[in-house]
C-alpha cells in the first residue's frame, strides 16, 4: 500500500480526478505490475496495472489500491467490474471513495465472492488525498487563502503601493502555488484596478506547464480587453455574494482546489464564513504602519471569539518568511458574512494585494 501511495504521487496534482496508485500481486505475493491514474479520461490505477499483466496471471491475484475501486461508468468503465472480469481474488484498499455516484465498488466485489480488505494505511491515504476528499465530501473546493504583508501586518503602504513587499524567492513561490491549485480566485475590483493575468509563471516570466483556471468573483463585468480573458485555461466569472454557493459552482468546472489572491475583502469574507482550509502568509521584514492591513473584519468581537490556527511550518524564502497554517476548528460563524461588492480589490502580479473602497 505504501508503494501504491508512491505511485499515486506520480499522477498530476491538479485536475478533476483523484490521484490513485495500484499494485498487483500474484497469489504467492510477488509483484506482477504497478499502475497509477494519469489524469481525467485515462485508465484508473488498477486497470492501468492490470493491463501490464497477461490475463492468465491475473486469476487469483491480489489488487492493492489506495482508493476504493469505483462502481460507475463515467469517462471509463467501473473498476469493480474490471477486477471481477479479470478473475482477481482479493482486493485491498486504503479508504472508501466518498463520491455518491462511484461508491459501492467494495460491496459489489464482496457480493461477487471476492475477499475485500479496507483501511490499510488509511490515515496516510487520507492525508495524501485531503484536498480531493474535502471537495467531494463538502461539495466545494479546498480553499487556500494567501496574502503577503509587512512584519506589522500591512499589505501596502499608506498611499496604496505594494510592489514589492516580498522578494523574488517569495514571489516565485507564489507562482508555484498557483500552478499547484486547480483555480486562482480574485474579486472584480482586482481585475478592474490592476488588470492581472492570473497566470503561473517561471523565473523568466514563462508560463508554467500547469495553469490554474482563472476565476473572478463579483457582479461587475470583466472588460472585453482584460488580460484575464486571454488566460490559457480560460475564465470563469461568479456573480453574486454567496461565497459558499460560488465555491460550490466551481466543482462543476472540475475544480478541487482554489488559490485565493483576492485581497483583504475577499480573504476576510472567506475566513469569516469558515471557508478557508489553509493559509499561506508571506511576511517581509519591513514595517509600513498605516491603515492598509492584510485582513479586514473577521467577525471577531472579543478574545474568546478569536480564530485559532495551527502553524504547520515556517520556511525562509530569501529575506522573507512563509507561514503555513490551518484553522483549528474550521466552520461557519453564527452569522455568515457575504462579500460586499461595494469594496473593490487590488491585486499585483507579485502576489501582494491592497484594498480600495469605492464610494
- Taking residue 230's Cβ as centre, other Cβ atoms within 10 Å add up to 12
Q: Which three cell numbers stand for residue 192?
A: 478592474
Cα–Cα distances (Å) from 184 to 43, 284, 337, in that order, read 28, 23, 21
CA angle, corner 215, sides to 353 and 171, nearest 5?
Answer: 40
CA distances from 124 to 2, 66, 127 (A): 9, 10, 5
Catalytic residue among 6, 28, 34, 46: 46
Q: Is 214 exposed, middle or buried (CB count within 10 Å of its CB: 0-12, 13-18, 19+)?
A: buried
Grid cell in block for residue 166:
516580498
Residues 6+ apart with CB under 8 A from 28: none
85 catalytic residue (yes or no): no
258 Cβ contact partners less than 8 Å away, ≥ 6 residues apart: 141, 142, 143, 144, 181, 182, 183, 184, 185, 215, 247, 250
Smallest CA-to-CA distance from 317 within 174, 202, 210, 184 is with: 174
Cβ neighbours around 317 below 10 Å, total: 19
Q: Of 52, 83, 67, which Cα lies nearest the Cα of 19?
A: 67
What are the backbone dihedrals phi and psi of residue 112, each rounded to the nearest 5 degrees, phi first?
A: -85, 0
Q: Which 8-state DSSP code applies to residue 228?
A: G
Coil/strand/helix, residue 149: strand
Q: How many CB atoms lie within 10 A of CB 267?
A: 26
Point out the residues that are catalytic.
46
Amino acid at each position: 500500500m505504501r508503494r501504491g501511495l508512491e505511485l499515486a504521487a506520480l499522477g498530476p496534482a491538479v485536475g478533476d480526478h483523484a490521484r490513485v496508485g495500484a499494485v498487483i500481486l500474484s497469489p504467492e505475493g510477488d509483484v506482477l505490475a504497478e499502475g497509477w491514474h494519469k489524469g481525467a479520461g485515462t485508465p484508473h490505477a488498477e486497470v492501468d496495472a492490470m493491463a501490464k499483466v497477461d490475463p492468465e496471471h491475473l486469476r487469483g491475484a491480489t489488487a492493492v489500491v489506495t482508493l476504493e475501486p469505483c462502481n460507475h461508468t463515467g469517462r471509463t468503465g467501473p473498476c469493480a467490474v474490471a477486477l471481477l472480469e479479470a478473475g482477481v481474488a482479493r482486493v485491498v484498499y486504503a479508504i472508501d471513495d466518498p463520491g455518491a455516484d462511484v461508491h459501492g465498488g467494495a460491496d459489489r466485489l464482496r457480493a461477487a465472492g471476492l475477499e475485500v480488505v479496507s483501511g490499510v494505511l488509511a490515515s496516510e491515504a487520507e492525508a495524501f488525498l485531503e484536498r480531493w476528499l474535502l471537495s467531494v465530501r463538502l461539495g466545494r473546493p479546498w480553499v487556500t487563502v494567501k496574502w503577503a504583508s509587512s512584519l506589522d501586518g500591512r499589505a501596502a503602504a499608506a498611499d496604496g503601493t505594494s510592489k514589492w513587499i516580498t522578494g523574488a524567492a517569495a514571489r516565485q513561490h507564489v507562482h508555484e502555488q498557483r500552478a499547484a491549485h486547480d483555480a486562482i480566485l480574485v474579486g472584480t475590483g482586482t481585475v478592474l484596478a490592476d488588470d492581472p493575468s492570473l497566470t503561473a509563471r517561471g523565473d523568466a516570466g514563462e508560463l508554467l506547464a500547469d495553469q490554474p483556471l482563472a476565476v473572478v468573483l463579483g457582479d461587475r463585468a470583466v472588460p472585453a480587453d482584460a488580460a484575464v480573458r486571454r488566460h490559457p485555461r480560460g475564465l470563469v466569472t461568479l456573480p453574486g455574494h454567496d461565497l459558499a454557493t460560488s465555491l460550490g459552482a466551481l466543482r462543476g468546472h472540475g475544480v478541487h482546489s482554489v488559490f485565493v489572491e483576492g485581497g483583504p475583502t475577499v480573504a476576510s469574507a472567506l475566513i469569516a464564513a469558515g471557508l478557508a482550509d489553509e493559509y499561506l502568509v508571506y511576511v517581509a521584514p519591513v514595517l509600513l504602519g498605516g491603515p492598509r492591513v492584510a485582513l479586514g473584519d473577521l467577525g471577531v468581537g472579543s478574545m474568546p471569539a478569536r480564530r485559532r490556527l495551527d502553524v504547520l511550518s515556517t520556511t525562509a524564502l530569501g529575506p522573507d518568511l512563509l507561514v503555513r497554517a490551518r484553522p483549528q476548528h474550521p466552520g461557519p460563524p453564527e452569522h455568515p458574512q457575504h462579500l460586499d461588492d461595494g469594496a473593490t480589490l487590488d491585486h499585483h502580479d507579485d502576489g501582494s494585494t491592497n484594498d480600495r473602497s469605492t464610494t
